[in-house]
Structure 1
C-alpha cells in the first residue's frame, strides 16, 4: 500500500465567509459527472438531513448550503476525533449551457445529488448524411 492510499484529508473550511453566517462552514466534497444530456453533481454532506439543505440559483451562481444539528455533539467529550462538525457551503458558476429551469435535486444518506440538464442547443445530436 502506498503512503497516499492511507493519507487522511482534512475538511476544508470555507474562507472569507459572510460575517452574518454563524458557525463553521466546510466545503462539501463534490463529484461531477458528465452525461450526454446533463451534468450530475454529488455533494457529500454527512449529518445533513434533506430538510436542512438549501439549493439556490441566482444570477448564474448555484449555491448549496447544508446545516448540521450540533445538539447531539455538544454533550459528547471525545478522547480523539477526526470528524469536524459544521455546516456546508459551496458555490458554482453555471454557464448558459445549463437549462436552469430543469435543475433537479435529491438527498439520500447525506449525499446531495443535483441533475443539471444541458440546454437543447448543447446536446449532441446525430446529423444524417445524405447521398449526393
Structure 2
C-alpha cells in the first residue's frame, strides 16, 4: 500500500497548534448596529459560562470579559482539541450620547447581546421655527 506525504497539511497542523497555544485574550467577534433609539452589540461567546461574563462601564469605556474553561476528562487521551479555552476581552469607546445607566445584557445560545440606549439629549428632535413677522402681526392685532 502506497502512502503519500502532504507537507502542507503537516505545516497546517503545526501552525494551528501554535495558534491554539497562545496566551492572552481570545478573539470575540461582534456585530454592532443602531436600531432606532438604541445600539445593539452581539458578541459570539460559544461555550462560555454566563456566570463568567463581566460587563462594566467606566466613563466612556465599555468592557466585556468572559472565561471559557477546558472540559476535563480524567484519563482521556485527546485526539483533537481545537476549541480554545481562556479569557475573552473586548473594549469599546461608547461616546457621550448614550445612557450608560440603562445598559442591559442577555446571553442566549452562545451569543451575548448588549443593549445600549441613546440618551435623551442625543436623540433627534424637531425645533419649531418662529417667524418674527408673524409674531409682530399677532402683537398688532391684539393691541
What TM-score, normalized by structure 1, do the two folds share? 0.70
Farther off after superposition, 45-54 or 23-32: 23-32
Q: 2:95 maps to what in 1?
A: 95
Q: Answer 1 or 2: which has greater helix percent.
A: 2
1:56 and 1:64 in contact (8 A); partners too:
yes
- Report deviation, 1:79: 3.2
Per-residue Cα deviation, 1:26-82 (whole angstroms, up to 9, x for no partner): 131000011120100001111112211000111211110011122x15655443454
Matched residues in 2 for 1:60 and 1:77: separation?
47
Query: Gapped runs of 5+ residues in structure 1?
Result: 1-9, 16-22
Superposed CA RMSD: 2.9
1:34-53, aligned counterparts within 5 Å? 34-53=34-53
For the Cα contact (< 8 Å) 2:69–2:85, is it kept in 1? no
Higher RCO, 1 vs 2 (CA within 8 Å, ≥6 residues apart): 1
Q: Does 1:123 align with 2:123?
A: yes
Once the 2 structures are TM-superposed, how far is the Cα of residue 91 of structure 1 from its aligned partner? 0.5
**Which residue in the other structure is 1:26 paired with?**
26
Task: Find the structure with the greater CA-based Rg.
Answer: 2
| 8 Å contact from structure 1 (residues 49, 110) kept in 2 | no
Q: TM-score, normalised by structure 2?
A: 0.65
Q: For structure 1, which segment, 80-89 or 25-34, has the greater mean C-alpha deviation from structure 2 after superposition?
A: 80-89
Cα 1:73–1:24 change in 2 (3 A) is farther
Structure with more strand by fraction: 1
CA displacement at 1:97 relative to structure 2 = 0.5
Shift of 1:128: 6.2
| Alignment: residue pair count | 113
